[in-house]
Amino acid sequence: MLNRSVNRNALALVVLALALLVVFHRLLLGEVFFWGLPSLQFYPWREYAFDVLRNGHLPFWNPYNGAGAPLLANYQSALLYPFNWFGLILPLAWSMSVTAVLHLFIAGWGMWMFTGELGLTELGRGISALSFAMTGYLVARLGTYPTIFAATWIPWLMWAALKILTNARRRDVGWFAVFTALQLLAGHAQTTWYSMLLLGLFSAWWAITHRVKWQRLAILILAIMLGAGIAAVQLLPTAELLAQSQRSGGVDYKTVMNFSYSPVRMLNFFSPNFFGTPANGSYATQGAFFEDAVYFGFIPLISALVAILTWAWGKIRRAERPNSFASVPFWLIIVVIAFVLALGQNAPVFPFLYRHVPTFAMFQAPVRWHIWTVFGLSVLAGIGVEMWTRGYWVLFGTRLAIAGGIGAAILAALSTRFLPADLMHTKGVVALIYAVIAIGVLGALAGLLTLAQPEVQTSRWYRWWILAIWVVVAGDLVYASWGLNPTVPASFYDKQALGTEATARAYWPATVDKNLKFEKDGYLVFDDYRVAINNQADYRASELPNLNLIDRVPLLNNFEPLMIDSFKAYTDLIEGHLPQQASLLNAADVDSVYDEQGKKIEVGTSTARAWFVDTACWHVDNESVQSALLNQWDSKQVVHLLGQGDCTQPTASISNGNVVQNITDNGDHLVVDVTTDHAGWLVLADSYYPGWSATVDGAATDIQHANLMFRAVQVPAGAHEVSFDYQFGWMWPAILVSIASLLIVVVLFRTRDINLSN
């Protein structure tokens, strides 16, 4: 029988809120997150999008990166996610940072609700809520906002699904659809996909073990479809971009296996900083700390192991088992599956699945399967902690554990006095010592809590004992979270006064871009976050993509997960063919490149964003176009088009009467004023992409796919206004589906709450 007292005292959530305030107190002083993706992606996208909105336009298009790229369709921009709208009325960088922390609290709240519905007691629910909300998996990658926002709704989806499977009331369906829509709008497809798989397995297991009517499973599927319908206005343009992107055919093996979990990092389940931490520069191994982080608390880990071992040994009689105990094997299987998949290339399973099973080639970083691991272990921790007893052998072992923990901590502390000085200065050694001390102290505290446990649960001291456990767990997680999300003053994001506004684009060579971002001498080195803090002014001034968007500086580069496939092909030509690099950059309206020190160097060739060409050569495929671009090509004389035909010569004598007089760009609406004394081709060095339409003096005309990634239209002789307008093709159908789905959800909430499966 399920525990229905889900609205009982939620003091654990107060403890969680206070713990988050301690860790992220600098946000209360007005500081903001900046390390990594907050500054390279999320803030620039949203700042530009909200600026466009305030000027009366819709943020469909980003004209400053990649020779133009979809903005709303860029899934991780998450412009339609409701919690991101706080940035319209509050200081944007600050609201984004605070909202991220708020989601950690919402995640813990959701776990509190789900475990309550699952049948856990107050003590177990609090442990599950704290351990999931403050797990290293979430806190260490907090700056990856879409990941955190999508993960936040996992426990809420599980809660709503369980309500449907047990009650199937209209309101339950409505809540499930809302949470589904929120997760889909949050902007991280990988986390959403993993959570939906977890949800499906849980629902199937619950239906089998509890003999749930098939109609309720059907209702659950319909609720998922309803949530997807609400999010259709985001999903359809994103699907269009995915089909046009470099990932349309899947992700290559090397990219997929990036960030595979190393088995030795299992030690981080016992101590978060076993290999050091980038918060103080002590991180001593390869890889990204934030990708490998899995710590969810020492006491929760021991509790989860107790739940597993107790179930495996079967020592508890069925009549004495907690209501939630029956779910232990399910969560154990989930944890094992996730751990094996997270190993990626370090085990044979994932490579086999990559080659033979659909969907395993969709995403990189197998380590992200650990979202299942930490979720399952957090639930198991809540179940296991309820088996905290005071038996004779437990107390005997506890006293030994206390003595061992204190002894280990003292010996580790004393070792600093006796180890050789050169060893003490070896990176990682001090971190290892502190990890042993932390384990010893936490082990001793767990033992003391066992000894302090009241013998009678009805005792007035029992609630104080529960609170003490929560405080110790929260303190442990505060320590583990410290410094993993460095902050800077909000002025970091102020627009820079550049003197003159750039008109032509600049370009970061791939190696220079990567080195200045993430390599040893870069700003965002993975082993020491202090480097970026100490060099924040230089980092902000660098105009690395996509920091350039804040200052409206056009770059050919684009730092986005989904890039237009023709853009990727064109930049691959630039990177792979140095002899033709100058002509390729010239055709992309690039007048300068960055050197190894991040300084601009003029290319030395005249550039233009739009120009006339008299000769057009047609090609049947992109491979033919690429060959032509590498064959002594002058972009100002010949345009290479994709389609059927030959090289066409001008029908009139060529003169110098072709002039592009003005270009007005409003993002998704661009006007080129031109004058020509004979018919020809107007080439625009902006990305070719579905949804763009063109007119010449108001009359519709076709846009041709030019020079592999750009646009061209035919223009007759005379003075003309050529307009380009962008609107994704499925906009109105998507809007109608979203509105209709929202209306259905409103009806579900407003009508009498009856059981739908009767």
For residue 48, pLDDT beyond 90? yes
Position 499 scores a pLDDT of 53
**What average pLDDT does this structure show over 360-384?**
95
Position 390 scores a pLDDT of 57
Point out the least confidently predicted range of 28-32, 289-293, 383-387, 583-587. Answer: 383-387
CA 124 from chain centre, in angstroms, equals 29
The amino acid present at 233, given as its one-letter code, is V
Position 446 scores a pLDDT of 84
Q: What is the mean pLDDT of the chain?
A: 90
Q: Which of 166, 157, 180 shows the shortest CA–CA distance to 216?
A: 166
Position 6 scores a pLDDT of 38
For residue 200, pLDDT beyond 90? yes
For residue 329, pLDDT beyond 90? yes
**What average pLDDT does this structure show over 426-444?**
83
Contact predicate 667/691, CB 8 Å? no
**What average pLDDT does this structure show over 348-362?**
93
3-state helix, strand, coil in the chain (%, to 5): 55, 10, 35
For residue 4, pLDDT beyond 50? no
**Two tokens, residue 402:** 């206390």
For residue 27, pLDDT beyond 90? yes
Position 498 scores a pLDDT of 66
Position 276 scores a pLDDT of 92
* Cα 672 from Cα 694, distance rounded (Å): 11
**What average pLDDT does this structure show over 288-312?**
93
For residue 592, pLDDT beyond 70? yes
Q: What are residue 642's DSSP bridge partners? A: 619
| CB within 8 Å of 645: residues ≥ 6 apart | 616, 618
For residue 278, pLDDT beyond 90? yes
Position 439 scores a pLDDT of 87
Condensed to tens digits (0 to 9), the pLDDT of residues 214-264 reads: 889 999 999 999 999 999 999 999 999 999 999 988 899 999 999 999 999
**What average pLDDT does this structure show over 42-64?**
95
Kind of pairing between the strands at 505-507 and 590-594: parallel
Position 2 scores a pLDDT of 38
For residue 60, pLDDT beyond 50? yes
Position 385 scores a pLDDT of 87
Position 452 scores a pLDDT of 76
**In the chain, pLDDT over 70 holds for what percent of residues?**
92
Position 476 scores a pLDDT of 95
Choose the most confident range, by mean pLDDT, from 153-157, 636-640, 678-682. Answer: 153-157
Confidence of residue 318 (pLDDT cuts 50, 70, 90): low
Position 392 scores a pLDDT of 52
- Domains of the chain listed by start with CATH number: 11-33+72-249+261-388+453-481 (no CATH), 490-602 (no CATH), 610-731 (2.60.420)
For residue 414, pLDDT beyond 80? no
| CB within 8 Å of 77: residues ≥ 6 apart | 42, 45, 46, 49, 71, 187
DSSP readout, 284-325?
-SSS-HHHH-----HHHHHHHHHHHHHHHHT-S-GGGS-GGG
Q: Is 618 helix (H, G, I), strand (E, B) or coil?
A: strand
Condensed to tens digits (0 to 9), the pLDDT of residues 629-652 reads: 999 899 999 999 999 888 877 655
Position 393 scores a pLDDT of 53
Confidence of residue 670 (pLDDT cuts 50, 70, 90): very high
Point out the least confidently predicted range of 174-183, 442-451, 685-694. Answer: 442-451
Contact predicate 454/285, CB 8 Å? no
Confidence of residue 7 (pLDDT cuts 50, 70, 90): very low
Q: What are residue 706's DSSP bridge partners? A: 641, 710
Q: 328: left (phi > 0), else alpha (psi -120 to 50), else beta?
A: alpha
**Two tokens, residue 587:** 């055709």
The phi and psi torsions of 644 (rounded to 5 degrees) equal: -90, 135
**What average pLDDT does this structure show over 352-381?**
95
DSSP readout, 643-683?
SS--EEPPSS---S--EEEEEEE-SSEEEEEEEESS-EEEE
Q: In terms of pLDDT, which residue wins out, 670 or 460?
A: 670
* Cα 63 from Cα 65, distance rounded (Å): 6
For residue 743, pLDDT beyond 80? yes
Condensed to tens digits (0 to 9), the pLDDT of residues 508-563 reads: 999 999 999 998 889 999 999 999 999 999 999 999 999 999 999 999 999 999 99
